[in-house]
Structure 1
Amino acid sequence: MSILQEFKEFAVKGNVMDLAVGVIIGGAFGKITTSLVEDVIMPIISAIMGGKIDFTNMFVVLGNVPEGTAMTYEALKAAGVPVLAYGNFITIVINFIILAFIVFMLVKGMNKMRKQAEAEPEAPAEPSEEVLLLREISAKLSK
């Protein structure tokens, strides 16, 4: 068996395809979560705090800043200045917490549906031959 044929069999198996779909959807879902944090949640927090809060511009400069370099995260990174970007870390932690909560709610919902499916009563079993025979005898006796 050639290695190409073995790879084809491996790639076509259901688990590999399920994993690939999960990774693609997970990547897209991560973008949705990032947008939720940056475009919805952070503006609300900024409004509550009374001003624009931009976590990406919360950092500590760890090196010498060349003259004429703006004191923004992007400008400092472009100039090669070492920066401890704790604000960006805060944003990523918020993204993670939201994503983890959403995944938790999805798993919780799936578990609830699975339990309901297991708890549904099964159709009554067909009566045994003895019961059918007794019913037939009973019917004949009641005539």
Structure 2
Amino acid sequence: MGMMKEFKEFAVKGNVIDLAVGVIIGGAFGKIVDSVVGDLIMPLVGAVIGKLDFSNLFLVLGNVPPGTATTLDALKKAGVPVFAYGNFITVAVNFAILAFIIFLMVKQINRLKRSEPAPAPAPAAPPEDIVLLREIRDSLKK
């Protein structure tokens, strides 16, 4: 029974819930980045380089059976080893964009934290002899 109570306390803590929300938002954000890369950036890069579809950039590493189509999917289904560097290019661009966006977000958060004024430091406590002299002075004023 103690273990269930401990698990419940762990699961209900704000940090775990914040982490779960972060994972869900991160998954959705990853899909947005995939779309930006696949639908916006890679076609532009492909237009400059001359290829519009990076996913079909590959090298065949084995023998192709007769009658097999030469597309990446068909070769993979036929069990032909292929070096699919086009997919890697797309994933690398996704990573670079995602890393850059996260960098900008962290930079902005750090800038906002720095812009908050630092609280004024508490005045140092006076030495004991000064406190005693003030007490004597205050008692003489009475």
| Alignment TM-score, normalising by the size of structure 1 | 0.76
The offset of 1:52, in angstroms, is: 3.6
The offset of 1:4, in angstroms, is: 2.6
| 1:47 maps onto 2:26 in alignment | no
The offset of 1:24, in angstroms, is: 1.0
Secondary structure of the structure 2 residue equivalent to 1:71: coil
The offset of 1:72, in angstroms, is: 1.0
Secondary structure of the structure 1 residue equivalent to 2:67: coil
| 1:96 maps onto 2:84 in alignment | no
- Distance in structure 1 (CA, Å) of the matches to 2:47 and 2:54: 14
Q: One-letter code of the match for 1:35?
A: S
- Distance in structure 1 (CA, Å) of the matches to 2:7 and 2:108: 36
- Distance in structure 2 (CA, Å) of the matches to 1:55 and 1:5: 52
Describe the superposition over 1:85-116 as per-residue Cα deviations: whole angstroms up to 9, x where unpaired: 11111110000000000000000000000001
- Distance in structure 2 (CA, Å) of the matches to 1:60 and 1:103: 33
Point out the more displaced range, 103-112 or 7-16: 7-16
5+ long unaligned stretches in structure 1: 123-143
Match of 1:114 in 2: 113
Describe the superposition over 1:5-61 as per-residue Cα deviations: whole angstroms up to 9, x where unpaired: 222211111111111111111111111111101100112223333x44311111111
Deviating 4+ runs (over 3 angstroms): none
Task: Indicate the percent of aligned positions where both proteins have the same amino acid.
Answer: 64
Describe the superposition over 1:114-141 as per-residue Cα deviations: whole angstroms up to 9, x where unpaired: 0011x2677xxxxxxxxxxxxxxxxxxx
Structural mapping, 1:42-81, within 5 Å: 42-49=42-49, 51-81=50-80
User: Does structure 1 retain, via aligned residues, the 8 Å contact 2:46–2:54?
Assistant: no
Match of 2:134 in 1: none
Q: One-letter code of the match for 2:83?
A: L
User: Does structure 1 retain, via aligned residues, the 8 Å contact 2:34–2:94?
Assistant: yes
Corresponding pairs, count: 121
Secondary structure of the structure 2 residue equivalent to 1:81: coil
- Distance in structure 2 (CA, Å) of the matches to 1:89 and 1:16: 33
Point out the more displaced range, 59-68 or 36-45: 59-68
| Alignment TM-score, normalising by the size of structure 2 | 0.77
Q: One-letter code of the match for 1:33?
A: V
